[in-house]
Each structure stands twice: as structure tokens, then as C-alpha cells.
Amino acid sequence: MEAGDIISLSRRLLVIASEDIGLAYPQAVPIVKACVDSAMQLGLPEARIPLAEAVILLATAPKSNSAYKAIAAAFEDISNGAAYEFPRQLQNVHCDGEGAAVRGQHYLYPHDYPNHWVKQQYLPDPIKDHVYYEYGDNKLENAAREYWSRIKK
């Protein structure tokens, strides 16, 4: 930072907020972004103050890399050739006309169902049962896991 490279440091802080803190404390991203924006506007030497806030927040925040692991797994599958068309009901079914539901192309709008959830296939057939996201072991992701478990009964 003494060399004045606020941009590289800021970029790294933003990556840490998403990659290492992630869903354990999703508010870290906008908070760190605000600190970075302040640092960029202030310039040195004052920039070190909001950057220090960001560093301390990230160092003391709960951690989760579950989103990082999920997107990494999805990209790995794609790079290994697992690129498929997504289910027809998720495509532009309004173009299919009235017979769409008969052909099994009817999208079930989750908001029309209790708890805004309905069982339907979202992934292509070859990977329809694949799970990319695994909940992290932290307060927010545990709460999300419990919520989804409860409404899917």
C-alpha cells in the first residue's frame, strides 16, 4: 500500500468478501465495497482508514466458501463437457402455445404455491440430480438449510 496501489488491495478485499466470507455473512460484500469506494475517493494517506475497517471486518467475520465451491464445481462440469440444454419449461414457453402443458412443457410458477416453492426439474436431464451447492456450517446457511427442509415437506 505504501506504493500507492489501492486498486490491487481493494480488489483483493472484494474477492475475500465473496470467496472466503461468502454466505456466512453476505453483508460483507456491500460493506467492503463501501470501504473500497471511500478509499478510492479519499486517496492516500486517509484511504488506509476505510481499508483497515474492511480488513478487520473480513478477519473477524464468519467464513464460508460454499458459493465458491458450488460455482467451481459447475464450471468444472462445463469444462468436462457437461453443457446441456436446460429443461424446456424454463425456456420461452410463452412461444409454445396452448399445447405446451400437454407436451410437458408447463412451467410451475413457484409463487403460486405454498411457501413459494414447487417441486419441478431445474437442471438438464443428464445432471438433474446433481447438487452443486452444499450448505456451509454457519448461522445463516444453517438457517437456510432448515428453512428449505421445512418448506419442502
3-state secondary structure of 91: coil
* Angle at which helices 6-16 and 48-60 cross, to 10°: 20
Q: Are 10 and 36 in contact (CB under 8 A)?
A: yes
d(CA 134, CA 150): 17
What pLDDT score does 95 carry? 58
49 has pLDDT over 90: yes
The mean-pLDDT minimum among 4-8, 44-48, 77-81, 128-132 falls in: 4-8
Q: What is the pTM of this model?
A: 0.81
Specify the CATH class of 66-151 in words. mainly alpha
Instruction: Return all residues near 147 (Cβ < 8 A) that are at least 6 apart.
Output: none
- Residue 29 pLDDT: 98
pLDDT the model gives residue 100: 57
Per-residue pLDDT tens for 98-145? 655 555 567 888 999 999 999 999 999 999 999 999 999 999 999 999
- From the number of C-beta atoms within 10 Å of its C-beta (0-12, 13-18, 19+), residue 153 rates as exposed
Measured CA to CA, the distance from residue 62 to residue 28 in angstroms comes to 10
Among residues 39, 42, 62, the alpha carbon closest in space to that of 52 is found at: 39
